[in-house]
């Protein structure tokens, strides 16, 4: 499990009064809290009903890096290959390399400092749990939440194989050994350390004679990639 | 300056008035002045004038692999004030627009709570409500411009933002209902759409000013904005504003979901990446003149207008430059100055008809000064994808046409 950023506030009590007090203490209560805490402390408004265990099981599908949320199950990379060919390869390619503009899931190792970084599960993602979580909740695109846990384990194993993180297609990934697998880029994420620009310490901004002569170095019109623009063609830099 | 405009106007514009032919828009009785117009029952839900048909969201086909996981853009160049009309708020979906039936809408709270709860939409509307005007900006807004200029129009370069009044229930109220465990530090918000979008939110932010909203600008959320309910996360990147929200799980650690690891992390030149870059920093753009809103008069009195905003507070000031940042003048902020909301600024000046390099530079209530693109690149490189809040330059030509340019 990674180190998470320290929360600003630890909620010390479940009661409304304690929450309100803490908010006030920390100067977080920018908006008047009057009506918000009109309910009797600790009792709420009595709105809503308890969720049944079956309901929570149906929707509580998330998986964390420490393995919390992983369902029981397992699958091998070889099993994953067959499922991938049937349900995934039409967009992601037979080897998870990505077709057309669809996402590449493998490759790109060593490119993160280059001009054209290729961010895949192998080259970029910090945690394998994210792959399991995302495949289960959102894939295949257009037919989400149709995969069974064993299939997701198998697909995840296949992606590990395509990224050379495992070498043997008989590798069995399961809820038992899942957290023993670490992805190469895990240590390369840092917490937000903005603001990071020189101007933050400038005080009053410069108003007059702030820089020497300026010159135009780039023009969007020359690229001609804007819809309705009359100059078509040119290179395009897509967002992810 | 005003007096010189008046004097100049008398010489230049005055002579044109003397030569003008009578205007048939005045001398002839127009149809609308003679015949009856449509009755009150003609349009149950009003639409803009047909003459405003080009004021629409636009899509850039080549940006994304499919229209279901894609983005479109608010026509900022045609709008004024600070409120975005609901039908023009940009869209960003990861699996298309979920069409949630309100009778089947459910919100679940589970995890580190005393009792897991389920709410219906009617339940949510029984809680005490809060109104907030906040901007929602996509983390990728202006992201295509990191390496240089590319798209010709502020709709495309800056249009992944909208600003509406949201009405809803504070998360702190809902959490009070469920009862938080002492170990509750993080909240995972999850959508009901086919991407089941999920993001981790620190508890301090969640109970500060976040809410589940069911109204925008007074009416129900639009389907593409999360009908019937979405998360509102003031000042923070748009991807956290989970639409069609179905579940809030309380936990003691973040989840590191796909949308906070693979996406919405910011790669630096060192090969390291920032994660949890939640706040949207202070930013501004001149919306007119701009490439899609050229100057249609030759010279004389001209309105420069634009938007400024900061995820860290209000906007203290906006400066405008006509010469590419060599000299600046203070613009005038008009209308409400609200926390984590768009601000509208104006600079009224006498255009001499010469080419100009227009820029705006915002300063927020924390003292943060909006940086140039060069300053951002110096510390982040060009592959951060997200959080490009740099100063935009428009090249106003003698013809009145305007172009997206980069200067050095």
Task: List pLDDT tens digits, range B188-201.
Answer: 999 999 999 999 99
Q: What is the DSSP string of B69-100?
A: SEEEE--GGG--SSPPPGGGS--EESS-----
Q: Kindly list the domain boundaries of chain A, sorted by start residue.
A: 1-48, 64-188
A27: contact with B, CB 8 A cutoff: no
pTM above 0.80, yes or no: yes
Please state whether the peptide bond connecting residue B228 to the residue before it is cis, i.e. omega within 30 degrees of 0. Answer: yes
Residue A45: strand, helix, or coil? coil
Query: Among B118, B177, B262, which would you mutate to test the A interface (most chain A Cβ atoms within 10 Å of its Cβ)?
Result: B262
Please give the backbone phi and psi of residue B301, each rounded to the nearest 5 degrees, phi first: -55, 130
The Cα–Cα gap between B142 and B155 comes to 10
Sheet (strand B107-111) strand order:
A49-50, B117-119, B107-111, B245-251, B186-191, B198-202
The shortest C-alpha distance from A169 to chain B (Å) reads 25
Residue of chain B minimizing CA distance to A226: B151
Candidates 1.10.760.10, 3.40.1360.10, 3.40.50.300, 3.40.50.1100; CATH matching A64-188: 1.10.760.10
A19 has pLDDT over 50: no
> Is A198 in contact with B371 (Cβ distance < 8 A)?
yes
Question: Bridge partners of B216?
Answer: B166, B219
A238: contact with B, CB 8 A cutoff: yes
> Is B262 in contact with A8 (Cβ distance < 8 A)?
no
The Cα–Cα gap between B28 and B31 comes to 9
Q: Within chain A, where are the H helices?
A: 16-25, 53-59, 77-87, 89-92, 128-138, 149-162, 220-223
A235 has pLDDT over 50: no
A24: contact with B, CB 8 A cutoff: no
Residue of chain B minimizing CA distance to A237: B144
Residue B365: strand, helix, or coil? coil
The shortest C-alpha distance from B270 to chain A (Å) reads 6
Nearest neighbour of A214 by CB, restricted to B115, B325, B328:
B325
**Which ipTM was obtained for this model?**
0.92
> Exposed e or buried b for every residue in A199-219, given b needs 16+ CB within 10 A?
beeeeeebeeeeeeebebebe
Would you place residue A229 in the very low, low, confident or very high pLDDT band (cuts 50, 70, 90)? low
Would you place residue A212 in the very low, low, confident or very high pLDDT band (cuts 50, 70, 90)? confident
- Mean pLDDT on A85-108: 96
Question: Bridge partners of B360?
Answer: B320
B88 has pLDDT over 80: yes
H or E stretch covering B332: strand B332-334
Residue B145: strand, helix, or coil? helix
Residue of chain B minimizing CA distance to A214: B408
* pLDDT top residue among A222 and B267: B267
> Is A49 in contact with B117 (Cβ distance < 8 A)?
yes
Residue A162: strand, helix, or coil? helix
A16 has pLDDT over 50: no
A239: contact with B, CB 8 A cutoff: yes
B20 has pLDDT over 90: no
Q: What is the DSSP string of B203-230?
A: HHHHHHH-EEEEEETTEEPPGGGTTT-E
What digits encode the pLDDT tens for the residues B322-356?
A: 999 999 999 999 999 999 999 999 999 999 999 99
How far apart, in Å, are the Cα atoms of B32 and each of A201, B25, B26, B36? 59, 11, 12, 7
A137: contact with B, CB 8 A cutoff: yes
Confirm if B398 and A208 have CB atoms less than 8 A apart: no
Confirm if A96 and A83 have CB atoms less than 8 A apart: no
Query: Among B196, B212, B323, which would you mutate to test the A interface (most chain A Cβ atoms within 10 Å of its Cβ)?
Result: B196
Q: Closest Cα to residue B178, out of A51, A32, A37?
A: A51
The shortest C-alpha distance from B85 to chain A (Å) reads 23
The Cα–Cα gap between A118 and A237 comes to 14
What's residue A236's pLDDT?
Answer: 57
Residue of chain A minimizing CA distance to B60: A227
Q: Closest Cα to residue B231, out of B189, B271, B197?
A: B189
Interface of A with B in 59-88 (CB under 8 A): 59-66
What digits encode the pLDDT tens for the residues A33-42?
A: 444 445 566 6
> Is A190 in contact with B132 (Cβ distance < 8 A)?
no
> Is B262 in contact with A119 (Cβ distance < 8 A)?
yes
What's residue B199's pLDDT?
Answer: 98
Beta-carbon contacts of residue A13 (< 8 Å; ≥ 6 apart): A19, B182
């Amino acid at each position: 499990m990674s180190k998470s950023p320290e929360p600003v506030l630890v909620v010390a009590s479940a009661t409304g009064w304690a929450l309100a007090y803490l908010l006030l203490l920390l100067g977080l209560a920018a908006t008047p809290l009057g009506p918000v805490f009109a309910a009797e402390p600790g009792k709420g408004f009595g709105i809503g009903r308890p969720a049944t265990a079956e309901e929570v099981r149906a929707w509580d599908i998330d998986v964390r890096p420490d393995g919390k949320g992983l369902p029981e199950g397992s699958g091998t990379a070889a099993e994953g290959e067959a499922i991938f060919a049937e349900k995934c390869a039409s967009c992601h390619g037979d080897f998870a390399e990505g077709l057309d503009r669809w996402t590449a899931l493998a490759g790109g190792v060593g490119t993160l400092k280059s001009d054209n970084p290729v961010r895949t599960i192998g080259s970029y993602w910090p945690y394998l749990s994210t792959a399991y979580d995302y495949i289960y909740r959102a894939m295949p695109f257009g037919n989400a939440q149709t995969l069974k846990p064993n299939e997701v384990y198998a697909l995840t194993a296949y992606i590990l194989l395509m990224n050379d993180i495992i070498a043997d297609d008989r590798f069995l990934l399961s809820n038992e050994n899942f957290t023993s697998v670490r992805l190469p880029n895990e240590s390369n994420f840092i917490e937000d350390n903005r603001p990071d620009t020189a101007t933050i310490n400038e005080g009053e901004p410069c108003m007059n004679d702030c820089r020497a002569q300026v010159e135009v170095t780039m023009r969007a019109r020359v690229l001609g990639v804007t819809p309705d623009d009359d100059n078509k063609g040119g290179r395009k830099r897509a967002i992810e | 300056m005003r007096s010189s405009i008046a004097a100049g106007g008398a010489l230049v514009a005055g002579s044109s008035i003397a030569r003008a032919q009578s205007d048939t828009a005045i001398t002839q009785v127009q149809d609308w002045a003679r015949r009856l117009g449509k009755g009150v029952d003609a349009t149950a839900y009003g639409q803009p004038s047909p003459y405003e048909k080009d004021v629409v969201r636009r899509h850039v086909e080549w940006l994304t692999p499919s229209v279901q996981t894609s983005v479109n853009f608010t026509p900022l160049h045609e709008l004024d004030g600070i409120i975005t009309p609901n039908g023009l708020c940009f869209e960003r979906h990861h699996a298309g627009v979920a069409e949630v039936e309100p009778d089947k809408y459910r919100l679940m709270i589970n995890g580190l709570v005393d009792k897991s709860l389920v709410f219906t939409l009617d339940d949510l509307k029984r809680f005490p409500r809060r109104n907030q005007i906040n901007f929602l900006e996509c983390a990728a807004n202006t992201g295509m411009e990191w390496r240089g200029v590319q798209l010709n129009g502020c709709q495309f370069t800056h249009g992944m933002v909208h600003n509406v009044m949201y009405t809803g229930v504070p998360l702190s109220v809902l959490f009070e209902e469920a009862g938080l465990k002492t170990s509750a530090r993080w909240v995972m918000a999850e959508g009901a759409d086919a991407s089941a979008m999920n993001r981790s939110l620190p508890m301090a932010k969640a109970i500060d000013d976040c809410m589940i909203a069911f109204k925008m600008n007074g009416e129900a959320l639009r389907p593409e904005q999360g009908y019937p309910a979405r998360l509102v996360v003031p000042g923070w990147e748009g991807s956290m504003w989970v639409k069609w929200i179905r579940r809030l799980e309380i936990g003691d650690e973040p989840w590191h979901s796909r949308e906070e690891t693979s996406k919405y992390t910011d790669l630096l030149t060192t090969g390291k990446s920032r994660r949890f870059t939640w706040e949207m920093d202070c930013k501004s753009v001149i919306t007119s003149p701009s490439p899609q809103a050229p100057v249609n008069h030759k010279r004389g009195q001209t309105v420069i207008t634009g938007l400024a905003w900061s995820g860290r507070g209000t906007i203290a000031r906006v400066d405008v430059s006509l010469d590419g940042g060599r000299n600046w003048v203070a613009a005038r902020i008009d209308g409400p100055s609200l926390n984590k909301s768009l601000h509208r600024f104006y600079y009224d000046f006498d255009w001499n008809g010469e080419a100009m390099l227009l820029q705006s530079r915002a300063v927020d209530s924390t003292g943060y000064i909006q940086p140039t693109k060069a300053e951002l690149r110096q510390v982040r490189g060009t592959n951060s994808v997200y959080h490009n809040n740099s100063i935009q330059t428009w090249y106003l030509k003698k013809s009145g046409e305007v172009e997206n340019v980069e200067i050095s």
